[in-house]
Amino acid sequence: MEDKTEDKRIVVAIDGPAGAGKSTVARAVAERIGVPYLDTGALYRAIALKLHEEHIMPDDGERVSERLKDLRLEVGRGTISADGVDVTAEIRSALVDGIVSAYAARPEVRDALTGLQRAQAARGLVADGRDMGTVVFPDAELKIFLTADAEERARRRYKERLERGEEADYDDILKQVKERDRYDMTREIAPLRPAQGCIIIDSSDMSAEEAADAVASLAVEFERQRKR
């Protein structure tokens, strides 16, 4: 008889606040276990950018859902486009950092993205975001909540900005990190919190590589046990 265990690949759900190192960890884990990586924050960012450009405010539920019916998001390997336009770089701007939480708090936006995210998981997936383990993939084989204290996360963002040649002010970034945490954790729908059955990892004193190694080892061990 056909062995289905080989076909059904692992889903790893990684949640946590901005700047905890989720994307570095998720990318490394996906590579180690050979499944695709999905950056769900990029999906929210692309929607925020597009709707903002079109002057559709996050609290205008009717226009938001109308527009989302025909907005075409395409995810490539490390790229994302909206209605055929590559927005990979633009979604990382300070502008999008500032507006994305308000769009991500809207039920119309979250509903539209839940189906899209689940549709990517058929061949296994490592997905990072805020509600991977709690809402989108509650049955994921491995759920991780990756966190770090706000000051350390702000330091990482500050360094990233400087490395990209952008201007950066540490105090502003720290304020924004804290504001975004509060917004993401207290919103009514899909608030950021550790999922049931998740493993909590605090990366404050770890390098991105160390955190990636820790999670990848768990995923590799899980795959090994499952295939036995």
Q: Which among 219, 155, 179 is positioned nearest to 21, based on CA atoms?
A: 155
Distances (CA, A) of 17 to 1, 66, 115, 129, 224: 44, 30, 22, 8, 29
Q: Which among 38, 59, 58, 62 is positioned nearest to 50, based on CA atoms?
A: 58
Give alpha helix (H) positions in the chain: 4-7, 22-33, 40-53, 61-70, 94-104, 107-119, 150-163, 170-186, 208-227
Among the listed residues 9, 45, 153, 157, the single contact to ligand DC using CB under 6 A? 45
Structure token digits, residue 31: 């590579």
Q: What are phi and psi of 73, to 5 degrees?
A: -100, 135
Does residue number 131 form part of the binding site for ligand DC (CB under 6 A)?
A: yes
Among the listed residues 180, 181, 203, 206, the single contact to ligand DC using CB under 6 A? 180
Min CB(226)–ligand DC separation in Å:
25
Among the listed residues 41, 98, 138, 194, the single contact to ligand DC using CB under 6 A? 41
Which residue's CB is nearer to ligand DC, number 108 or number 184? 184
Q: What angle do CA 188, 112, 184 make, to 5 degrees?
A: 30
Which residue's CB is nearer to ligand DC, number 7 or number 166? 166
Does residue number 138 form part of the binding site for ligand DC (CB under 6 A)?
A: no
Question: Which DSSP symbol is given to 55?
Answer: T
Candidate ranges 61-69, 126-134, 138-146, 202-210; the one touching ligand DC (CB under 6 A): 126-134
Does residue number 44 form part of the binding site for ligand DC (CB under 6 A)?
A: yes
Which residue's CB is nearer to ligand DC, number 10 or number 13? 13
Does residue number 73 form part of the binding site for ligand DC (CB under 6 A)?
A: no
Among the listed residues 26, 46, 49, 104, the single contact to ligand DC using CB under 6 A? 104
The residues binding ligand DC (CB under 6 A) are: 18, 40-41, 44-45, 100-101, 104, 129-131, 180, 184
